[in-house]
């Protein structure tokens, strides 16, 4: 190993290789679920240096754990505790290489923090729409490696749909120069989308060309109270029909979610009062503030007339809009304050969601009376964070120890029956690898393993993750 | 081979296997560039039968050429002339399995003709936006295998972006059940997008779940005359900024294209008269006819003020809108009437297009004075059909024989220099396989070949195509 580290140090310089001191920020995930021990941390500053690292790793048979902002939720970006895995941090590759306004595209290195990419686009008068809670520290490379979702997927898609081209370093240290600003390119297999979402197990994304959009003229937010989830689904259809692509956000929160927020964060105003389901809608209008408001008012009036909405409020200014979003975003915080819970990041066809929630709420209540389901998420994408909290008076840690396995089985069985996904946006990593091996279509698993063997025969790229 | 054909006949029945009679519709492409000889034509009626065919092909080592509507332009869907390849036609699998309005999705078998899929969506009050010249005979399976483009890509993406899930039969006859109506699913490698665009070389798409959209309330079409391609690019930026996603079409036609139409098809009205560049714009409005017209008028007035448009006309009714589109769509017909020409289906970053066209027009004029460039296409997607016609008085066949290789080299070199693609929407097939092997990034080629070997080690799936 010394020969390997010496060769690395020679190639990367002192700034490019960390072998001593406190490496815990690289070795542990931020939720402290995975505590690891790295052989070292390589911090290459260019694509050529990443390629050199992979050449050396291949030569010396050293496994590599690629790392971006290390904000993942499934243990995909930290080393195991063997002390034998090299962390390859992309954090020094943070240059926005260029913005092409006429082509509506931006090229940036993997280590750019998402918020910096958003800011660079905004400075050029354009919108880079990927947006999620960790945007202040997650990186573009990590967003692509995990196909990040977030709050604007309904209109703009996941990280995958926003990407035009990639530069990738392979397991053997070759560079695939696939950067491209093209909207159409039918010259062979879709390598880009194969690397996106592969969680660092097939190659290392070093740079990407991403789509930009015009900034909307106005962005308006509203809250709507619905008697039922069927009502919320009907509202979604109506909003799509009347607002088309101006509909950029459609989030739901069940009664228990907002009751939990009221309990844990009483300082937050809840403008509509309790409802079975509260919907947060966002419209982004290409035209004008007046037009946006007219569309929104027309939509909400029609929804009230049809009976799918009982009550609604449009934010009157930016501050109020932020407060509406903050209410939605504070649910995970309220959950964290209330203690451990059993989290599920599931997706279903939108049409299957009301039936799933009714059946599952009833099944959980039967399984353990008093159980609390904190159900919220991106209804427009069919993505729910269906989290289960301990009954009042039961210690959360004991609750998890006793019931997590059984509750996961209940939830995932019902998801699978309806053609849903057990990981809508968080990925697989180490956390759900076994579950995936049990539940994924066997032919799909065989294909995935064949691809992994073909592109990384020595299993050096993020071994033990995903596949 | 008899044992193989007997086993096939037993499994598929008489209707499922054609071994005699005139098979030319399956053996030759519609442009008659590729004339082949099939071992037989298998016509399975279900996914299970497709799997059975592949099982037998694997057992007997018989190569398979999957075929949809056989409307491709690159020789990807017809057998070679060896008489040893089995044509696997999906034409009997033409059931629309279901439409899910609340989830905005449709599931249909591979053999469904594109126009039938559009009609099924329309009957349910929804829009399936994929649209291209061959829609009356091309099939959904073929559209996905080739990642078809067409006229609505600017807003709705290629076939790839419209697909949510696939059912695929592998080289060994296993079925991957990847049908899904999910907008978010991060459970492993993106197999869907790997099969899409792989031209039948990695697996056989049997069924797909596709996205649907609300029908727009109004669709308006306009023609605009621009002095320069820079003006057309500026108009595109302005249209995106003001109309957002309501902009569903942005096609350009150079002066020579419309002059050719005027000569070959003089019965077609050309409302604007000759211009350096004529742009066809389409707006699809979610709101109302009045709103659509107001947006369009505002946009065109602003464009005239800025000097990027010299003259414009908005279609006053559906008939006129169709006439505008017909003008654009008649260019290939006018070309066919004028005789053979050298076709290029290229894409570039939109920002690189004016420079490319200026340089290439000059280079071709220098190469052969009197040469005629028929340049038209989907500027919004950066996709040009940059076709080169013989000078007046030169026989087209002689022109091609003498100059096709040299002109391709000129054009493709300039495309490659600017990071463009030599096949934007038509694919590779047999026609461009050698060109691709010369020009594609070597690492990409190596990755593609590794994937092909991993998923089809016996090279039974459409051998000799693409990779």
Gap between the Cα atoms of A351 and B104, Å rounded: 9
Which of A176, A194, A423 minimises the CB distance to B190?
A: A194
Residue-wise burial string across B380-419, b where 16 or more C-beta atoms lie within 10 A, e elsewhere: bbbbbbbbbbbeeebeeeebbeebeeebbebbbebbeebb
Q: Which residue of B has its CA nearest to A294?
A: B287
Dig out the tokens for B83 from the structure.
């008489």
Average confidence (pLDDT) over A74-93: 97
Cα(A31)–Cα(A50) distance, integer angstroms: 28
Give the count of Cβ contacts less than 8 A between chain A and B. 280
- Under the banding of pLDDT at 50, 70 and 90, the label for residue A453 is very high
* Alpha-carbon span A157 to B89, nearest angstrom: 34
Q: What is the pLDDT of residue B244?
A: 86
Q: What is the pTM of this model?
A: 0.97
Residues of B in contact with A421 (CB under 8 A): 180, 182, 184-187
Residue B214 with chain A: CB contacts under 8 Å: 240-241, 244
Query: Contact, B321 vs B315, CB < 8 A?
Result: yes
Structure tokens given for A31 = 């939720």
Can you list the alpha helix ranges (DSSP code H) found in A187-228? 191-195
Task: Give the pLDDT confidence of A197-219 residue by residue, as tens digits.
Answer: 999 999 999 999 999 999 999 99
Q: List chain A residues with CB under 8 Å of B161.
A: 161
Q: How far apart are CA B288 and CA B295, in angstroms?
A: 11
Band of pLDDT at residue A182, cut at 50, 70 and 90: very high
Do B441 and A174 count as a contact with CB atoms less than 8 A apart? no
Phi, psi of B69 (to 5 degrees): -85, 0
Q: Residue B392 has what pLDDT?
A: 86
**pLDDT at position A245 over 90:** no
Render pLDDT for A395-433 as a digit per residue (tens, 0 to 9): 999 999 999 999 999 999 999 999 999 999 999 999 999
Is the pLDDT score of A375 beyond 90? yes
Round the average pLDDT of chain A to a whole number and report it: 96
Residue with tokens 């002390």: A83
Span A269-291, average pLDDT: 95
What pLDDT was estimated at residue A340?
87
* Higher per-residue confidence, A241 vs A174: A174
Long-range contacts (CB closer than 8 Å, 24 or more residues apart) made by B156-161: B156/B129, B156/B130, B156/B213, B156/B248, B158/A184, B158/B425, B159/B130, B159/B196, B160/A190, B160/B193, B160/B196, B160/B197, B161/A161
Match 């070199």 to its residue by tokens. Answer: B413
Helix (H) or strand (E) holding B372: strand B372-378
Q: Among B97, B382, B418, B447, which would you mutate to test the A interface (most chain A Cβ atoms within 10 Å of its Cβ)?
A: B447
Give residue A178's pLDDT. 97
CB contact under 8 A, B443 and A176: yes
Cα A460 → chain centroid? 25
Residue of B nearest to A242 (CA): B286
Task: Give percent above pLDDT 90 in chain A.
Answer: 95
- pLDDT number for residue A33: 86
User: Collapsing DSSP states into helix, strand and coil, what is residue A277?
Assistant: strand
Q: Please report the pLDDT score of residue A32 as a whole number.
A: 83
- Quick one: which of A188, A312, A4, A423 has its CA closest to B443? A188
Facing B183 at nearest CB: one of A245, A347, A451? A347
Q: Are A147 and A429 in contact (CB under 8 A)?
A: no
- Write down the number of H helices and E strands in chain B: 16, 19
pLDDT at B412: 98
pLDDT at B340: 87
- Cross-chain CB nearest to A443 (options B175, B350, B427): B175
pLDDT at B245: 87
d(CA A114, CA A121): 11
Q: Residues of A with CB below 8 A from B242's CB?
A: 286-287
Q: Which residues, 6+ apart, have CB-to-CB distance to B417 below 8 Å? A: none
For residue B33, what pLDDT is reported? 86
Instruction: Check: CB of residue B110 under 8 Å from CB of residue B139.
Output: yes
Residue A63: CB partners within 8 Å, gap ≥ 6?
A57, A84, A85, A86, A459, A460, A461, A462, A463
Q: Taking Cα atoms as reference points, which of A355, A154, A163, A330 lies closest to residue A250?
A: A154
The span from the CA of B308 to the CA of B231, in Å, is: 4
Residue of chain A nearest B417, judged by CA positions: A180
> By C-alpha distance, which of A234, A424, A450 is closest to A348?
A424
Nearest Cα residue in chain B from A162: B161
Q: Is 90 exceeded by the pLDDT of residue A57?
A: yes
R_g of chain B, CA atoms, integer Å: 23
Check residue A149 and give its pLDDT.
94
**What is the full per-residue pLDDT of chain B (467 aa) written as tens digits?**
799 999 999 999 999 999 999 999 999 998 888 999 999 999 999 999 999 999 999 999 999 999 999 999 999 999 999 999 999 999 999 999 999 999 999 999 999 999 999 999 999 999 999 999 899 999 999 999 999 998 899 999 999 999 999 999 999 999 999 999 999 999 999 999 999 999 999 999 999 999 999 999 999 999 999 999 999 999 999 999 999 889 999 999 999 999 999 999 999 999 999 999 999 999 999 899 999 999 999 999 999 999 999 999 999 999 999 999 999 999 999 998 998 899 999 999 999 999 999 999 999 999 999 999 999 999 999 999 999 999 988 999 999 999 999 999 999 999 999 999 999 999 999 999 999 999 999 999 999 999 999 999 999 999 999 99
Mutation for testing the B interface, residue in A184, A247, A296 having most B CBs under 10 Å: A184
A440: which 2 tokens?
């994924």
Q: Which two tokens stand for residue A413?
A: 């069985």
Distances (CA, A) of A282 to A230, A316, B2: 20, 13, 64
Q: Which of A182, A193, A351 sits opposite B347 (nearest CB)?
A: A182
Beta strands in A111-162 (DSSP E): 126-127
> Could you tell me which residues come within 8 angstroms of residue A284 by beta carbon, excluding any fewer than 6 positions away?
A155, A216, A218, A219, A246, A248, A292
Asked whether the beta carbons of residue A383 and residue B183 sit closer than 8 angstroms, the reply is yes
* Tokens matching residue A466: 């995903």
Strand B38-42 to B17-18 pairing = antiparallel
| Per-residue model confidence as pLDDT tens digits over B180-236 | 999 999 999 999 999 999 999 999 999 999 999 999 999 999 999 999 999 999 999
């Amino acid at each position: 190993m010394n020969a390997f580290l010496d060769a690395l140090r020679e190639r990367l310089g002192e700034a490019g290789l960390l072998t001593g001191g406190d490496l815990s920020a690289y070795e542990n995930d931020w939720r402290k679920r995975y505590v690891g021990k790295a052989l070292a941390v390589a911090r290459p500053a260019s694509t050529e240096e990443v390629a050199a690292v992979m050449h050396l790793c291949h030569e010396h048979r050293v496994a590599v754990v690629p790392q971006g902002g290390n904000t993942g939720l499934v243990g995909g970006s930290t080393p195991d505790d063997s002390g034998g895995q090299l962390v390859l941090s992309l954090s020094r590759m943070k240059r926005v290489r260029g913005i092409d306004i006429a082509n509506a595209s931006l090229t940036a290195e993997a280590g750019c923090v998402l918020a910096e990419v958003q800011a660079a686009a905004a400075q050029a008068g354009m919108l880079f729409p990927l947006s999620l809670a960790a945007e202040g520290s997650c990186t573009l490379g990590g967003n692509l490696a995990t196909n990040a979702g977030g709050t604007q997927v309904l209109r703009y898609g996941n990280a995958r749909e926003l990407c035009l081209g990639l530069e990738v370093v392979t397991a053997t240290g070759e560079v695939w120069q696939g950067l491209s600003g093209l909207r159409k390119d039918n010259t062979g297999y879709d390598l880009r989308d194969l690397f996106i979402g592969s969680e660092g197990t097939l190659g290392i994304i070093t740079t990407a060309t991403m789509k930009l959009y015009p900034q909307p003229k106005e962005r308006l937010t509203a809250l709507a109270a619905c008697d039922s989830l069927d009502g919320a689904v009907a509202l979604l259809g109506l909003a799509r029909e009347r607002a088309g692509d101006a509909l950029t956000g459609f989030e739901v929160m069940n009664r228990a979610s907002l009751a939990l927020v009221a309990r844990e964060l009483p300082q937050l105003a809840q403008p509509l009062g309790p409802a079975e389901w509260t919907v947060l809608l966002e419209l982004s209008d290409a035209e004008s503030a007046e037009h946006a408001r007219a569309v929104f008012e027309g939509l909400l009036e029609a929804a009230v007339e049809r009976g799918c909405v009982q009550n609604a409020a449009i934010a009157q200014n930016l501050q109020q809009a932020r407060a509406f979003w903050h209410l939605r975003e504070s649910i995970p915080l309220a959950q964290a304050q209330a203690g451990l819970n059993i989290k599920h990041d599931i997706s279903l066809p939108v049409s299957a969601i009301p039936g799933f929630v009714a059946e599952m709420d009833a099944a959980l209540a039967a399984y353990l009376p008093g159980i609390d389901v904190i159900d919220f998420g991106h209804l427009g994408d069919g993505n729910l964070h269906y989290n289960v909290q301990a009954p009042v008076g039961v210690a959360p840690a004991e609750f998890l120890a006793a019931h997590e396995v059984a509750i996961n089985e209940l939830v995932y069985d019902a998801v699978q029956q309806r053609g849903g996904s057990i990981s809508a946006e968080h990925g697989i990593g180490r956390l759900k690898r076994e579950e995936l091996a049990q539940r994924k279509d066997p032919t799909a698993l065989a294909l995935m393993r064949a691809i992994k063997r073909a592109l990384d025969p020595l299993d050096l790229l993020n071994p033990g993750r995903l596949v």
